[in-house]
């Protein structure tokens, strides 16, 4: 006699320790095997795009902080550059250099959170705290510069809110010196750990063609073996002056595009970011960081789609201006929003525990998905 | 010990209750308090933190405060649970892990119960935990709890097999099930410990040493899995199943599960100590013997036993804060494809060696 | 390949269709496509040998709010001609060129073919445009609300310019 079995629907989230925020996953299970995953988003929707239409252009900057709250600098950066392009403002060299240094520090900080929380998802708690302790150093640098630790409102249209303080250069160099060996420590503790590799290698494989069709960007796309980085392929600001590599997934421990590759690409990207910071930190020219800040931000009629390489992927700002002081429409192409679409596809046929592995390796931030 | 208590109280009934309650209040409750704190301190120092610092000197009263808090907590029972099973489960788990201590020889003066089927009893009574966990998970009427309980039960039952086979190996070597006798076979110095071939002599001893090391590693791994510790803490994998089978429990019932987990850790550590590391015997001889103070010897033995047991508990904590967690199928692979064949091979080899 | 060259290729390929080159300076230029040809154009853009727009960077709904006052026969003033637009930002990973499309839909009947079958990532973007603007994407596999709650009032689309905050939501007073 066959035993009667039935599918079980498990609601993972919105309150769950490892959905990285208020994401709800509707899992259809057969035992522990995943038959189908439906992500439900929108629990953190804060009407960013509607707000923008009522704000003036500079007032939007603090709102961009709150999208990907782990990479606020990069969000500011993108918005500022987009509006500057729309208005045809040219900022001076000092601003460009400081912006790049801040964005790269922010990239390291964001990847630290991604890698640390991924460790927690897999069950290793210690690397998480090691990485967070190191992240504190970056946050302290930011705090000393602009007074905020998470939501900076630092990069304004046409300039910066504060100049860097005199100690900043030395402290940043110290940090770079300090952090390089820490990456090896992380690799020894977590990346090459046998159990960690068993849990992540060959899990959630994302082939390159699927990734491109789904519009996946950032570390996830690179982990699938596509050498694509907007800092190189469509350079903005002064990224074309620096010498750095684009790490891609090579399938060292499993197949190209698996969770381990996605993890490891981030580790390698931290090294590349350190390289950029090292090249930039000594060459900051003198100048006034608020030189080009316009009295009244009033772009001409027109529209722009500008995209930037955020820690999570391609952040796009689509801004339509009707010639007034308020944007007519701001649409944000949030990297996590697009990356999350492929999640259901990746999970099919895996176990419940793998859902966590895959979600962790995507490194989504719900503030950005829901905006 | 029991006779000593009869002498004091003059009544076998009172003596019986005192003998039964003494280890609980003297050892296991203080141990649980210390172990919970130790876990937090160990993890904190491994992670470059300080851990609890506010309650008392370096936070030594943190667990006491936690227990007080847990006692005050409201005992929440949801509507749709199976109330009887739900209420009974924590007690069953607690009984299972606590009753296992009854047969452990703490020192030559204080052997809880020197029964001849001690090892058998230990394995059997600690299986009660399985029933308790399944009850708790099922009656909670929560999908996470149920998944956690199912995982836990399949894991514990699977890992009991390599444990039992290693125990069987030791029974073959020592030809007894009585834990006290096993301890006393490993008396005198540390080269008589079973991990170094026990009381065997000549070529057999040298052949036994590698096998005993292998057997020790197997039983350490499998007992680690039985008490649901990282890297085998899949049943309560907090990143997947929230808290596994005790997700729905609050207050003291939760504390009982918690306490049972720590009691279990210690129980299996003691079992390993008895089987492989000479039980309560000192590796170097006794201060009491050399000074001629006889009453010092049992105390020293108690200290040695506790030290050895707690060392393994510390190793378990150390592992927990270092390693990530396995997946369910990988866990089963470790058990069925590696541990069981190896333990069977060791059983056979030890059998041959004891024949010659 | 510049947008102008792409436009020439398109014009040759689809002689019956209309393409308007909208060079909205200062920055980006758009090709306005007839909504009924959109799907064919998109498939063509993706599969053509030397175009290969394999990625949809962004899909954005916009309320153009461009109604003009007209007088009907009886002399009453009426607003007419308001359109909702959908912007498609295409990009080719292989050749590294971009192309921006735009379709304009009358607000009375904002319907356009879904491009989900061309680029998978259009799925959620289209749901979002539906959610916020009420643009109906025909043949979309799962056109339901995405960011707003599932019980959000039907026919209420927050990013339209004439949206007014409702007084009650599920019996709760909104501006408290």
DSSP annotation string for A190-208: IIT-HHHHHHHTTSS---H
Give chain C's residues under pLDDT 70: 1, 3, 16-18, 22-27, 176
Give chain A's residues under pLDDT 50: none
Please tell me what DSSP assigns to residue B27: I
Chain C residue set in contact with A, beta carbons under 8 Å: 24-28, 30, 54-58, 60-63, 87, 89, 93, 96, 100, 119-121, 123-125, 132, 145-149, 158-159
Beta carbons of A353 and B237 less than 8 Å apart: yes
Beta carbons of B328 and A353 less than 8 Å apart: yes
Q: Please give, rounded to a whole number of angstroms, the shortest distance from the CA of C159 to a CA of chain A.
A: 6
By the 8 A CB rule, do A46 and A370 touch? yes
The interface pTM score, or ipTM, of the predicted complex is 0.84
Beta carbons of B242 and A133 less than 8 Å apart: no
CA distance B74 to B268: 32
Beta carbons of C54 and A213 less than 8 Å apart: yes
Residues of chain B in contact with residue A17, where contact means CB-CB under 8 angstroms, are 238-239, 242
Contacts with C134 (C-beta within 8 Å, 6 or more apart), sequence order: C84, C110, C155, C157, C160
A185 to chain B, any CB pair closer than 8 A? The answer is no
Residue B1's pLDDT is what? 59
The size of chain B, in residues, is 356
Find the CB nearest A195 among B47, B231, B321.
Answer: B231
Cα distances (Å, whole numbers) of residue B5 to A175, B16, B24, B38? 66, 8, 16, 33
Q: Which residue of C has its CA nearest to A300?
A: C26
Beta carbons of A193 and B323 less than 8 Å apart: yes
Q: What is the mean pLDDT of chain A?
A: 86
- pLDDT tens across B336-345, in order? 888 889 989 9
Residue C111's pLDDT is what? 85
Residues of chain A in contact with residue B328, where contact means CB-CB under 8 angstroms, are 32, 351, 353
| Contacts of A among chains (3+ CB pairs under 8 A) | B, C
Q: Would you kindly state where each structural domain of chain C is located, as residue ranges?
A: 3-165
CA distance C69 to C72: 10
- pLDDT tens across B226-243, in order? 887 777 777 666 666 777
Which stretch of DSSP H or E encloses residue A303? strand A302-309
Find the CB nearest C60 among A41, A47, A331.
Answer: A331
- pLDDT tens across B87-106, in order? 888 888 888 888 888 788 87
Q: Which residue of B has its CA nearest to A356?
A: B240
Residue A95's Cβ-count burial label (10 Å; 0-12, 13-18, 19+) is buried
- The number of helix segments (H) and strand segments (E) in chain B equals 16, 0
By the 8 A CB rule, do C100 and C87 touch? yes
CA distance A204 to A253: 14
Which stretch of DSSP H or E encloses residue A136? helix A126-146
A residues 10-29 closer than 8 Å to C (CB): none
User: Which residue of A5, A122, A123, A136 to mutate against B (max B Cβ within 10 Å)?
Assistant: A123
DSSP-assigned beta bridge partners for residue C70 = C78
User: Which residue of C22, C25, C26 to mutate against A (max A Cβ within 10 Å)?
Assistant: C26
State phi, psi for A318 to the nearest 5 degrees: -110, 105
Residues of chain B in contact with residue A122, where contact means CB-CB under 8 angstroms, are 239, 324-325
Q: Please give, rounded to a whole number of angstroms, the shortest distance from the CA of A302 to a CA of chain C.
A: 5
Q: Please give, rounded to a whole number of angstroms, the shortest distance from the CA of B143 to a CA of chain A.
A: 7
Which stretch of DSSP H or E encloses residue A84? helix A72-87
Closest C-alpha among A134, A6, A78, A104 to residue A316: A78
Residues of chain A in contact with residue C30, where contact means CB-CB under 8 angstroms, are 303
Hey, CA dihedral for B334, B340, B345, B349, is it positive or negative?
positive
CA distance A222 to A230: 11
A263 to chain B, any CB pair closer than 8 A? The answer is no
Whether residue B348 is predicted with pLDDT greater than 80 in this model: the reply is yes
| Contacts of B among chains (3+ CB pairs under 8 A) | A
Q: Which residue of A has its CA nearest to C92?
A: A212
- pLDDT tens across B146-205, in order? 888 888 888 888 888 888 888 888 888 888 888 888 887 777 777 777 777 766 677 777
Which stretch of DSSP H or E encloses residue C136? strand C136-138
Task: Specify the CATH superfamily of domain C3-165.
Answer: NADH:ubiquinone oxidoreductase Nqo5 subunit (3.30.460.80)
Find the CB nearest A130 among B47, B231, B323.
Answer: B47
A47 to chain B, any CB pair closer than 8 A? The answer is no
Q: Please give, rounded to a whole number of angstroms, the shortest distance from the CA of C152 to a CA of chain A.
A: 12
Find the CB nearest A307 among C57, C87, C148.
Answer: C57
By the 8 A CB rule, do A228 and A217 touch? yes
A8 to chain B, any CB pair closer than 8 A? The answer is yes
Beta carbons of A356 and B240 less than 8 Å apart: yes
Establish whether the linkage from the previous residue to B330 is cis, with ω within 30° of 0: no
Q: Which two tokens stand for residue B299?
A: 């105390």
- pLDDT tens across A44-64, in order? 888 888 888 888 888 888 888
Which stretch of DSSP H or E encloses residue A38? strand A33-40
DSSP-assigned beta bridge partners for residue B228 = none
Q: Please give, rounded to a whole number of angstroms, the shortest distance from the CA of A80 to a CA of chain B.
A: 38
Beta carbons of A45 and C25 less than 8 Å apart: no
Hey, CA dihedral for B5, B8, B12, B13, is it positive or negative?
negative
Q: Do the two chains B and C touch, given a threshold of 8 Å on CB pairs and at least 3 pairs?
A: no
Please tell me what DSSP assigns to residue A351: B
- pLDDT tens across B37-61, in order? 888 888 888 888 888 888 878 878 8
Beta carbons of A305 and C89 less than 8 Å apart: yes
pLDDT band at B24 (very low <50, low <70, confident <90, very high): low
Half-sphere exposure of A337 (CA within 13 A, CB side): 29
Beta carbons of A124 and B329 less than 8 Å apart: no
User: Which residue of B144, B238, B324 to mutate against A (max A Cβ within 10 Å)?
Assistant: B324
Find the CB nearest A351 among B47, B48, B329.
Answer: B329
A residues 38-97 closer than 8 Å to C (CB): 41-42, 45, 47, 49-50, 85-86, 88
Residue B239's pLDDT is what? 63
Q: Which residue of A has its CA nearest to C53?
A: A213
Residues of chain B in contact with residue A351, where contact means CB-CB under 8 angstroms, are 327-329
CA distance C158 to B317: 53
Q: Which two tokens stand for residue A334?
A: 């949030």
CA distance A355 to A269: 24
State phi, psi for C168 to the nearest 5 degrees: -125, 145
Q: How many CB pairs under 8 A join A and C?
A: 93
Beta carbons of C148 and A370 less than 8 Å apart: no
A278 to chain C, any CB pair closer than 8 A? The answer is no
Find the CB nearest A32 among B231, B325, B328.
Answer: B328
In CATH terms, is domain A8-370 a member of 1.10.645.10? yes
Beta carbons of B324 and A196 less than 8 Å apart: yes
Please tell me what DSSP assigns to residue B284: S
Residue C23's pLDDT is what? 64
CA distance A337 to B270: 52
Beta carbons of A190 and B231 less than 8 Å apart: no
User: Which residue of A52, A214, A215, A228 to mutate against C (max C Cβ within 10 Å)?
Assistant: A215
Residue A119's pLDDT is what? 85
Strands C136-138 and C111-113: parallel
Please tell me what DSSP assigns to residue C25: S
User: Which residue of A19, A125, A136, A359 to mutate against B (max B Cβ within 10 Å)?
Assistant: A125
């Amino acid at each position: 006699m066959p035993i009667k079995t039935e599918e079980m629907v498990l609601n993972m989230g919105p309150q769950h320790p490892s959905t990285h925020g208020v994401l709800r996953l509707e899992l259809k299970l057969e035992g522990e095997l995943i038959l189908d995953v439906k992500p439900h988003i929108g629990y953190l929707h804060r009407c960013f795009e509607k707000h923008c239409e009522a704000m003036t252009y500079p007032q939007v900057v603090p709102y961009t902080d709150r999208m990907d709250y782990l990479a606020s600098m990069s969000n500011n950066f993108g918005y500022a550059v987009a509006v500057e392009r729309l208005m045809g403002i040219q900022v001076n060299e000092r601003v460009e250099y400081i912006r790049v240094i801040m964005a790269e520090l922010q990239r390291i900080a964001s990847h630290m959170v991604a890698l640390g929380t991924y460790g927690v998802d897999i069950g290793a708690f210690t690397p998480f705290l090691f990485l967070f302790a190191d992240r504190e150093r970056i946050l302290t640098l930011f705090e000393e510069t602009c007074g905020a630790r998470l939501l900076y409102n630092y990069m304004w249209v046409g300039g910066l809110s504060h100049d860097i303080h005199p100690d900043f250069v030395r402290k940043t160099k110290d940090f770079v010196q300090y952090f390089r060996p820490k990456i090896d420590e992380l690799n020894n503790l977590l990346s090459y750990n046998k159990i960690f590799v068993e849990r992540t290698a060959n899990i959630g494989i994302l082939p390159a063609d699927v990734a491109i069709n789904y519009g996946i960007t950032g570390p996830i796309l690179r982990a699938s073996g596509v050498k694509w980085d907007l800092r190189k392929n469509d350079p903005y600001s002064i990224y074309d002056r620096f010498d750095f590599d684009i790490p891609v997934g090579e399938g060292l421990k499993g197949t190209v595009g698996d969770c381990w590759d996605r993890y490891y690409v981030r580790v390698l990207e931290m090294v590349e970011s350190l390289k950029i910071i090292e090249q930039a930190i000594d060459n900051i020219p003198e100048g006034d960081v608020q030189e080009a800040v316009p009295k009244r931000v009033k772009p001409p009629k027109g529209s722009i789609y500008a995209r930037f390489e955020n820690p999570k992927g391609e952040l796009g700002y689509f801004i339509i201006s009707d010639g007034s002081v308020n944007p007519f429409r701001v649409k944000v192409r949030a990297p996590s929003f697009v990356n999350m679409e492929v999640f259901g596809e990746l999970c099919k046929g895996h176990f419940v525990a793998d859902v966590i592995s895959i979600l962790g390796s995507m490194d989504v931030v719900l503030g950005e998905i829901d905006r | 010990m029991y006779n000593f208590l009869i002498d004091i109280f003059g009544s076998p009934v009172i003596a019986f209750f005192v003998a039964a309650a003494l280890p609980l209040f003297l050892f296991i409750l203080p141990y649980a308090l210390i172990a919970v704190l130790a876990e937090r301190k160990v993890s904190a120092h491994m992670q470059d933190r300080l851990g609890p610092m506010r309650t008392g000197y370096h936070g030594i009263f943190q667990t006491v405060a936690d227990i007080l808090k847990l006692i005050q907590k409201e005992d929440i029972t949801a509507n749709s649970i199976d109330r009887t099973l739900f209420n009974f489960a924590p007690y069953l788990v607690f009984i299972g892990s606590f009753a296992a201590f009854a047969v452990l020889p703490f020192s030559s003066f204080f052997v809880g119960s020197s029964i001849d089927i001690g090892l058998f009893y230990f394995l059997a009574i600690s299986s009660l935990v399985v029933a308790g966990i399944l009850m708790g998970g099922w009656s909670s009427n929560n999908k996470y709890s149920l998944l956690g309980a199912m995982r836990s039960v399949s894991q514990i039952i699977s890992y009991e097999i390599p444990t039992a086979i290693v125990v069987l190996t030791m029974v073959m070597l020592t030809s007894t099930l009585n834990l006290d006798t096993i301890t006393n076979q490993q008396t005198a110095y540390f080269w008589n410990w079973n991990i170094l071939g026990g009381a065997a002599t000549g070529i057999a001893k040298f052949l036994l040493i590698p096998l005993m090391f292998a057997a020790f590693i197997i039983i350490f791994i499998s007992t680690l899995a039985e008490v649901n510790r990282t890297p085998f803490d899949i049943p309560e994998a907090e990143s997947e199943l929230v808290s596994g089978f005790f997700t729905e429990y609050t207050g003291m019932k939760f504390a009982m599960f918690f306490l049972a987990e720590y009691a279990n850790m210690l129980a299996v550590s003691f079992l390993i100590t008895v089987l492989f590391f000479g039980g309560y015997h000192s590796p170097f001889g006794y201060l009491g013997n050399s000074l001629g103070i006889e009453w010092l010897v049992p105390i020293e033995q108690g200290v040695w036993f506790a030290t050895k047991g707690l060392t393994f508990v510390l190793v378990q904590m150390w592992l927990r804060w270092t390693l990530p967690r396995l997946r369910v199928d990988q866990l089963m692979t470790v058990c069925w494809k590696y541990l069981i064949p190896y333990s069977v091979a060791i059983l056979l080899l030890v059998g041959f060696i004891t024949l010659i | 390949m510049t947008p102008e060259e792409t436009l020439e290729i398109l014009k040759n390929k689809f002689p019956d269709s209309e393409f308007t080159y909208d060079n909205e300076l200062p920055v980006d230029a758009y090709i306005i496509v007839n909504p009924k040809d959109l799907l064919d154009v998109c498939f063509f853009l993706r599969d053509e040998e030397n175009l290969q727009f394999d990625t949809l960077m962004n899909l954005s709904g916009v309320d153009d709010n461009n109604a003009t006052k007209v007088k009907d026969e009886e002399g009453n003033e009426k607003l007419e001609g308001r359109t909702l637009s959908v912007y498609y930002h295409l990009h080719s990973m292989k050749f590294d060129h971009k192309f921006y499309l735009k379709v304009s839909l009358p607000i009375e009947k904002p319907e356009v073919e879904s491009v989900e079958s061309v680029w998978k990532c259009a799925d959620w973007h289209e749901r979002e445009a539906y959610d916020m603007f009420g643009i109906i994407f025909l043949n979309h596999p799962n056109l339901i609300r995405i960011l707003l709650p599932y019980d959000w009032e039907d026919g209420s689309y927050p990013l339209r310019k004439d949206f007014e905050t409702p007084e009650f939501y599920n019996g709760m007073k909104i501006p408290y």
